[in-house]
Chain A
Amino acid sequence: MAGQVATGSRSGLRSALPLLVPAYLWLTVAIFLPLSAMVFFSFMTELPLPGKAWSFTLDNYATFFSQPLYLTLLAASLRLGLEVTLWCIVIGYPAAYVLAKVFRGRSREAIFLLVILPFWSNGLVRIFSWAMVLREGGILDSALNAVLPFNINIDLMYSYPAVIIGLVHSYVPYMVLTCYLTLQAIDDSLIEAGRSLGASRLQMLKRVIIPLSMPGLVAGAALIFVPVVGSFMEPRILGGRTGTFYGTVIEDQFVAVFNWPLGAALSFILLAVVLVILALASPVLKRAA
């Protein structure tokens, strides 16, 4: 997909350059400057506050490798990212398919709104409302007990599943949106052509629809996986004591322990790992698409 952009003529590219200036200016100011400050911090012994002596060091990075806890947490976070991404595919892709290929007109707009509604609510409100649903004596627990003839005790609060539920809920709209866009671009006559050739719905899905919507799946997965690996809010609020992940440790360095240099170093290690994973995955995904 990205390859098609490069086929534009050189003069076309040159005349488009001025259009890119605002975007690059914004990227420089909003991302590059703070990020370079963080790179700088990550090589310091102390925050450069008045009255404190500091020097350059590699200790912050060494800490990550000397204490196995960090590696364990990173692995847990990567697993969390993978699981949440998979759940988002499992839930988001069929929803996007139904939205793009089954619903028409008004009802499509209505359902679309429902899907992106979580986007518009405050992240904390979203998470705390899940807390109300998932805790013992909460909404899920009471509702199930009201319906079922026997007594059950559901307390998902402060557990790994709660973290997964909260994160999937926050991030599934990305998957729905990116998949919807690619699915909706698939001409209905392709599906009809396939069926007239004798393909079952499952065969159509496997051979035509999924391959053609792969760019949306990949984009959605990247949009979800990366922030989930570094997430801290959902794990902290919904996970309680089980919710210690790489992201929460980084957050701790910044807001609790006040060890910004270590927090920055841990962040960059995460960034490097994520970039390596995306780089390794991209040829495989490109072939699948």
Chain B
Amino acid sequence: MAGVQVANLSRSFGAHTALDDVSIDFADGGFYALLGPSGSGKTTLLRQIAGFDFPDSGRIAIGGESVERVPVEKRRIGMVFQNYALFPNMSVADNVAFGLSVRGEAKATIQSEVQRALDLVQLGKLGARRPHQLSGGQRQRVALARAIVTKPRVLLLDEPLGALDKALRVDMQIELKRIQREIGITTIFVTHDQEEALTMSDRIGILRDGRLVQEGPPEEIYDRPKSEFAATFLGDANILRGETTGTGIRLPDGTAIAAGAGATLAGGATASCAVRPERIRIGTDSGTSDPNANMLRGQVSKRIFAGNNSTYFVDRNGQTIKVTVQNTGVEKLAEGQKVVLRWSPESTVLIAAS
């Protein structure tokens, strides 16, 4: 096992910069999610680490060893592809055995290692089948077994669950996480599913247009996004823009919003505050509350019911603010009703204008 260090990595395709000065430290044994919109460079970054493609500049080290010019077959990595990429001309067992047999391992070793890997992904009995005789979830398990049986230094997965339906996807998330813990392998996981990234990973890196926007543990990115993009891409957020007061902002109409988290900025510049919809309390009364709380008045324009919660769209001076409340079965606000929104400064993140 080994950590992966990526430093100042850049890669262009013609005039298009797919990776722009990206530096990330993937800790040994960690589970890392790369998240970003389509075309943001996630696959490109993964391919540089795998060695399918080479960077224009920058450094890549696996386990402290510099690998920029090492071809993929010498990097000792395990890769899982979105379309599984199983060899159709081989049985499941032969697929899993492939990496060991090209290394010239002894037959007996191969057999026991393959069985162990298949048992680990709970496919111990299906070794004799051909890939086309398996379901999507089973194929992905075979692909995983094939990637880890060679004891690679890192496991790279490019949207491995993208082709599965929702229920199977959740099962496989749990399964993948269990296996990753069990063998303790450094794992880099590309996804565009933010929920998947939040639930599975120790750390998340958010990419946008080839740049690393923010990087850190899921809670940190969720609670203290450093940019409007990070705030709205990972989870949902209300963005209020105004002039900074140093510890908050003043909206164009003069209302002050206090922020308890995020950047500290010099007064006067334009800035924004982000607040999560579930952090806002919504009510009809104006009395009795924490005097420090931020407060805005508005009018309910729409309510969307989603089972365990509801989201209210509240109109305030032309801006829509989303508020999510748990479905307690007690109160329901009608569309058109005048409401008061309150939330604490601690739930408010001050973000510098980008």
Given contacts A198-B73, A198-B150, contact A190 B87 (CB under 8 A): yes
Neighbouring B residues of A190 by C-beta, 8 Å: 85, 87
- Cβ of A192 and Cβ of B73 under 8 Å apart? no
B76 at the interface (CB under 8 A from A): yes
- Cβ of B81 and Cβ of A192 under 8 Å apart? yes
Neighbouring A residues of B52 by C-beta, 8 Å: 192, 195-196
B83 at the interface (CB under 8 A from A): yes
- Cβ of B89 and Cβ of A212 under 8 Å apart? yes
Q: Which residue of A lies closest to B75 (CB)?
A: A196
**Whole-angstrom distance between the Cβ of B100 and the nearest chain A Cβ:** 9
Neighbouring B residues of A194 by C-beta, 8 Å: 87, 98, 102
**Whole-angstrom distance between the Cβ of B345 and the nearest chain A Cβ:** 49
- Cβ of B72 and Cβ of A195 under 8 Å apart? yes
Cα separation A58 to B78 with both chains bound (whole Å)? 69
**Whole-angstrom distance between the Cβ of B101 and the nearest chain A Cβ:** 8
Neighbouring A residues of B76 by C-beta, 8 Å: 198
Neighbouring B residues of A211 by C-beta, 8 Å: 89
- Cβ of B50 and Cβ of A196 under 8 Å apart? yes
Neighbouring B residues of A197 by C-beta, 8 Å: 73, 78, 98-99, 102, 146-147, 150
Which one of A187, A195, A208, A212 contacts B73 once the chains associate, using CB atoms below 8 Å? A195
Cα separation A211 to B99 with both chains bound (whole Å)? 17
Neighbouring A residues of B71 by C-beta, 8 Å: 195
Cα separation A190 to B147 with both chains bound (whole Å)? 13
Neighbouring A residues of B79 by C-beta, 8 Å: 192-193, 196
A207 at the interface (CB under 8 A from B): yes
B287 at the interface (CB under 8 A from A): no
A55 at the interface (CB under 8 A from B): no
Neighbouring A residues of B50 by C-beta, 8 Å: 196
Neighbouring A residues of B83 by C-beta, 8 Å: 187, 189
Interface size on A, residues (CB 8 A): 17
Neighbouring B residues of A199 by C-beta, 8 Å: 73, 98-99, 102
**Per-residue 0/1 for A170-213: is the Cβ within 8 Å of any B Cβ (1 yes, 0 no)?**
00000000000000000101101111111110010001100110
B88 at the interface (CB under 8 A from A): yes
Cα separation A195 to B74 with both chains bound (whole Å)? 9
Given contacts A192-B52, A196-B77, A200-B73, contact A187 B103 (CB under 8 A): no
Interface residues of A in 193-240 (CB under 8 A from B): 193-200, 203, 207-208, 211-212
Cα separation A254 to B150 with both chains bound (whole Å)? 66
Cα separation A190 to B76 with both chains bound (whole Å)? 17
Interface residues of B in 224-259 (CB under 8 A from A): none
**Whole-angstrom distance between the Cβ of B97 and the nearest chain A Cβ:** 10
Neighbouring A residues of B85 by C-beta, 8 Å: 187, 189-190, 192-193
Which one of A192, A203, A208 contacts B89 once the chains associate, using CB atoms below 8 Å? A208
Q: Which residue of B lies closest to A197 (CB)?
A: B99
Which 4 A-B residue pairs are closest in the complex by CB-CB distance?
A: A197-B99, A193-B85, A196-B79, A189-B85
Q: A190-B85, A192-B52, A196-B50 are in contact. List 18 more A-B contacts (CB 8 A).
A: A189-B81, A193-B85, A193-B87, A194-B87, A194-B98, A195-B52, A195-B72, A196-B52, A196-B72, A197-B98, A198-B76, A198-B99, A199-B73, A199-B99, A207-B87, A207-B98, A208-B87, A211-B89
Could you list 14 examples of A-B contacts with CB < 8 Å?
Answer: A187-B85, A192-B79, A193-B85, A193-B146, A196-B73, A197-B73, A197-B102, A198-B73, A198-B103, A198-B150, A200-B102, A208-B87, A208-B89, A212-B88
